[in-house]
Structure 1
Amino acid sequence: MNTPKVIDYIVNWLKEYATNAKVNGFVVGISGGIDSAVTSTLCAKTGLPTLCVELPIHQAESQVNRANEHIKQLRERFSNVSEAEVNLTSTFEDFKTVVPKTDSSPKVDLALANTRARLRMTTLYYFAGLHGLLVAGTGNKVEDFGVGFFTKYGDGGVDLSPIADLVKSEVYALAAQLGVPDSIQKAQPTDGLFGDSRTDEDQIGASYDELEWAMDMQNQGKALEDFTGRQSEVYKIYTRLNRINQHKMIPIPVCEIPDELK
């Protein structure tokens, strides 16, 4: 990959899209992770107003520290970058008091994790509407089109996706070229939605390198019986998630009424 040219291409794409849409710039949720760091830096390089928003909900101190480090660096490098913080912890806790009480279970934990993501999406669109900005998505290709590792109408609720055609290793290559802080480049990827130390790999059962391999194998038309051992295990994980999360990756189905019934 020609990393400098890919960066220039994305920056120009962002600027052209915003100009044609007649909006002022971008708003990006900053998590302390690699994807949001790369996305916000690309947005900043357009020269258009870029609002970086921290949205902690019982967030780990390490994630908050990385987010703060990144935003501070961006503001030192780009005069068009501004920041805001909205601590949604009390909002999240209030939400839990008004929905029907249910004993803790994996389903409840997942529903609440997705609620965190949706509260953040709502807040980003508040700022977007207030300042005439586009919500820039931070999902990469493996997450968005491989295993569907995102929350529908949460971090998946965006106006445009600058890095969704890049697999994770390519995002890391951009991060190095863009000068993203080392602390973020070296951190284990995590969605931070469960309030504990679990990583993306803990949740998925495979690393991003493994998932990239599986995505490539599926694109080549390989089948499960083509693999053994760990490769077979990873391919099974990938194809299962790709299958069950198709509802996130395809357009919302519309019930089209036949003309003769109208």
Structure 2
Amino acid sequence: MSKISTPQAAAVADYISKWLLDYAKNAKVNGFVVGVSGGIDSAVTSTLCARTGLPVYCLEMPIHQHESQVNRAAEHIDALIQKYPNVSRQLVDLTPVFESFKSAVTQTDDQATVDLSLANTRARLRMTSLYYYAGLTHSLVAGTGNKVEDFGVGFYTKYGDGGVDVSPIADLYKSEVYALGRVLGVPNSILEAAPTDGLFGDSRTDEDQLGASYDELEWAMETSGSAHDPSTFTERQATVFAIYKRLNNANQHKMNPIPVCEIPAHFKK
């Protein structure tokens, strides 16, 4: 359920690229660093950055990555480089770093907890790599989170893929990201692939983890912000809405500013 038409998508893409260019110029930086995963969000973000004309550094950062994800990322970067001379690539194989980290830390018998902690570690290793190259090139790290992930269900890693300088697509629903992807010429292999965060080294999709599709979560996010009568929900809608509310409540710590302990004035007299 796309909320913007094809002509609107083209106009939105132009608007975002100009916004990125203006922001970079005002920040007096050279360009952008983007982690390219083989998914729609990073494909659209990297393309929007490429359209600014500023240098764009696309990082591939596999950690035991599924071959299909690696191939999609490579296909997209190849196409970007052919079209935009300002785009370059850097392969950073983080698998040995990840394995060294695993051997250095304590693990527990709760395998599910270990797996989740290690999944978040993958995202944080990638964030560290992005900022390393951003430092080398005096560039900004461009985030790839969309509206549902960033402000709906908090489906990202704090200080991992949530650690960025700018968020060009964070006001777009997933369906709108796809609309931009189509007008921007993102490869069909990416447009047709099931969304996945690729953090577990297996074939699980975002929907497998969330329990609902992005279209369903978009509906729930819109519904939660308006007057609604739960008695009118179908059984599936009630399930999806409960999933959305549970995730939204649980992940407020990601979406709200970090709490600061403010010291009362009388302590400072």
Kept after mapping to 1: 8 A contact 2:33/2:57: yes
Q: In structure 2, what is the equivalent of residue 220 of structure 1?
A: 226
Q: How far does residue 224 in structure 1 lie from its aligned partner after superposition?
A: 4.2
The answer to whether 1:128 aligns with 2:158 is: no
Match of 2:199 among 193, 196, 206: 193
CA distance in 2, matches of 1:246, 1:48: 35
Kept after mapping to 2: 8 A contact 1:224/1:235: no
Secondary structure at 1:113 match in 2: helix
CA distance in 2, matches of 1:84, 1:224: 49
Q: How far does residue 145 in structure 1 lie from its aligned partner after superposition?
A: 0.2
Q: In structure 1, what is the equivalent of residue 249 of structure 2?
A: 243
Identical aligned residues as a percent: 69
The answer to whether 1:208 aligns with 2:214 is: yes
What amino acid sits opposite 1:204 in the alignment? L
Q: In structure 2, what is the equivalent of residue 161 of structure 1?
A: 167
The answer to whether 1:38 aligns with 2:44 is: yes
Greater Cα shift, 158-167 or 221-230: 221-230
Q: TM-score, normalised by structure 2?
A: 0.96
Q: In structure 1, what is the equivalent of residue 85 of structure 2?
A: 79
Q: How far does residue 101 in structure 1 lie from its aligned partner after superposition?
A: 3.1
Secondary structure at 1:28 match in 2: strand
CA distance in 2, matches of 1:100, 1:71: 37
Q: TM-score, normalised by structure 1?
A: 0.98
What amino acid sits opposite 2:188 in the alignment? D
**How many residues align structurally?**
262
The answer to whether 1:141 aligns with 2:133 is: no
Secondary structure at 1:197 match in 2: coil
Kept after mapping to 1: 8 A contact 2:147/2:169: yes
Q: How far does residue 102 in structure 1 lie from its aligned partner after superposition?
A: 2.2
Q: In structure 2, what is the equivalent of residue 54 of structure 1?
A: 60
What amino acid sits opposite 1:115 in the alignment? T
Output one character per residue of 1:143-202: Cα deviation in whole Å (capped at 9) or x when no partner. Answer: 000000000000000001000000000000000000000000000000000000000000
Specify every segment of 5 or more residues in structure 1 that has no aligned partner in the other structure, as ranges.
none
Kept after mapping to 1: 8 A contact 2:107/2:114: no
Q: In structure 2, what is the equivalent of residue 65 of structure 1?
A: 71
Specify every segment of 5 or more residues in structure 2 that has no aligned partner in the other structure, as ranges.
none
What amino acid sits opposite 1:152 in the alignment? K
Output one character per residue of 1:48-79: Cα deviation in whole Å (capped at 9) or x when no partner. Answer: 00000000000000000000000000000000
Give the 3 Å change call, closer, same or farther, for CA 255–224 of structure 1 in structure 2.
farther
Q: In structure 2, what is the equivalent of residue 29 of structure 1?
A: 35
The answer to whether 1:119 aligns with 2:132 is: no
Secondary structure at 1:3 match in 2: helix
